[in-house]
Amino acid sequence: MIGIIDYGMGNLHSVSKALERLNVSYFVSEKADELEKADGLILPGVGSFKDAMAILQKDGLADFIVQWATSGKPLLGICLGMQLLFEESEENGVTKGLRLLSGSVRRFSGVTEEGDSYKVPHMGWNQLNFQQPNHPLLDEVEQGHVYFVHSYAVQTSDVDVLIASSSYHQIVPAVVGRGNVMGTQFHPEKSSAIGMKMLENWTAIVEGRKNAGEYVSNLSSH
């Protein structure tokens, strides 16, 4: 059973519909005691990092998510939800994140090294490039195009966290993870067959139908 965390800033409908298409049981809740009963949690997100963290902290969900992840249970962040997994963001002033993964969230500059301007946000379909092609999230997934909508991107020096990337005038971490904590910057539920296959792989990991081996382990062991 998958729990979708509802904190008022998530793309709940599209994620729910994607799980329904996969015939995966799920529920949506904003209560930690209910979410605790899930086998895996999805942290969706659309909007401001600062606002999202304020809500998660106010409702006690930030501490719950950290405890969940450090106990070794599967967690998947999507879009803003992925960014929240990292140490901090500069959006609307520096704000600390959940600090489950190493890195920070920075805004696209909107200017190339040559001084030319480019559009922000990064919106539309873009190519995936695999850094860890054997990761269970990428099992039978093509290096095709997926759908992005974001003005901020993760910057990390921890190469082990990077599962797949894309490029938009800089390297964009597109799929990240360490142990049981994983995330996608793009929207898998809106990314056609590639995104749906990745969601299917994650639910298979949660349900124990896919052997994740060394990739899924207690976060505290790293």
Name the catalytic one among 91, 122, 135, 189. 189
Name the catalytic one among 36, 79, 150, 222. 79
- 189 catalytic? Reply is yes
Pairing of strands 75-78, 40-43: parallel
One-letter amino acid at 80 equals L
- 200 catalytic? Reply is no
Tokens of 149: 């909508």
Q: What whole-number distance in Å separates Cα of residue 167 and Cα of residue 162?
A: 13
* Residue recorded with tokens 């790293």: 222
Q: What whole-number distance in Å separates Cα of residue 179 and Cα of residue 106?
A: 24
Name the catalytic one among 122, 135, 150, 187. 187
List own/partner pairs for 211-217 with CB under 8 A and 24 or more apart.
211/136, 212/136, 213/136, 215/135, 215/136, 215/177, 215/179, 216/74, 216/136, 216/179, 216/180, 217/72, 217/179, 217/180
The answer to whether the beta carbons of residues 30 and 9 sit under 8 Å apart is no
- 90 catalytic? Reply is no
Q: What whole-number distance in Å separates Cα of residue 14 and Cα of residue 11?
A: 6
Active site residues: 79, 187, 189
